[in-house]
Amino acid sequence: MALKSTIFKAEMSVADIGRGHYGDYALTIARHPSETDERMMVRLLAFALNASDTLAFGKGLSTEDEPDLWQRDLTGAIELWIDVGLPDEKEIRKACGRADAVHVYAYGGRAVGLWWDKMRGKLDGQDRLAVSEVPLEASKALAALAGRTMRLHCTIQEGQILFGDATASVSLELVAIKAASPRR
């Protein structure tokens, strides 16, 4: 018998000063049995960094051809595709062909550098692709915030991110690995 996903609920307040975006979100996260607290919380961080009323979680790890998060326009076209972790080159190329913008939030410490060294030559030409690293200490600290019901806040200003709840917070800055090329 297959194990079922565990449902987590999060109320998240986002204040992204640079984008001028402020919002409160009631989120339901289905966590696959093989997903860790760390990965789930990096998904929530990715949501906060790209928050909008049209950003939604994908179906999860067990579903191929879907990202961790995505944003679609009114016609159903994919505006933004977000993957968390260290996806394989084929998945990233496919995402770049399907979406206007693709962002990978990589985490895992030393594994991120090894992964990017292997991917760099194959993906540098993907203009729509941006890759950022969540520092290991930050992803581990985010994991400590995980709970079945969460009340979270995220403030983003000039590259500085403050993510937390009523009892603890994590201050972090993403490491830019690859920037997407500006649109023409």
The whole-number pLDDT of residue 183 equals: 62
Report yes or no on 46 lying in a domain.
Answer: yes
Is 30 within a domain? yes
Instruction: Decide if 163 is inside a domain.
Output: yes
Mean pLDDT of the residues in the chain: 93
pLDDT digits over 20-67, tens only? 999 999 999 999 888 999 999 999 999 999 999 999 998 765 556 789
How high is the pLDDT of residue 131? Answer: 98
CATH number, domain of 74, equals 3.10.640.10
* pTM of the predicted model as reported, rounded to 2 decimal places: 0.94
Answer yes or no: is pLDDT of 171 > 80. yes
Q: Give mean pLDDT, residues 162-167.
A: 97
pLDDT computed for residue 84 by the predictor: 96
Q: Is residue 1 part of a domain?
A: no
Residue 102 inside a domain? The answer is yes
Give residues with Cβ within 8 angstroms of 69, minimum separation 6: 43, 46, 47, 50, 55, 56, 57, 58, 80, 82
Does the structure show a pLDDT above 90 at 182? Answer: no
Number of domains present in the structure of the chain: 1
In one letter, which amino acid is 131?
A: V
- Residue 174, pLDDT > 70, answer yes
Domain of residue 110 covers 6-178
In a domain, 151, yes or no: yes
Backbone angles phi, psi at 80, to 5 degrees: -140, 130
Long-range contacts of 21-30 (CB under 8 A, 24+ apart): 21/51, 21/52, 23/51, 23/52, 23/53, 25/51, 27/57, 29/57, 30/5, 30/6, 30/57, 30/59, 30/60
Whole-number pLDDT of residue 24: 98
Name every residue whose Cβ is closer than 8 Å to that of residue 126 and which is 6 or more positions away in sequence: 92, 93, 96, 102
Most confidently predicted of 62-66, 74-78, 103-107 = 103-107
- pLDDT at residue 102 tops 60: yes
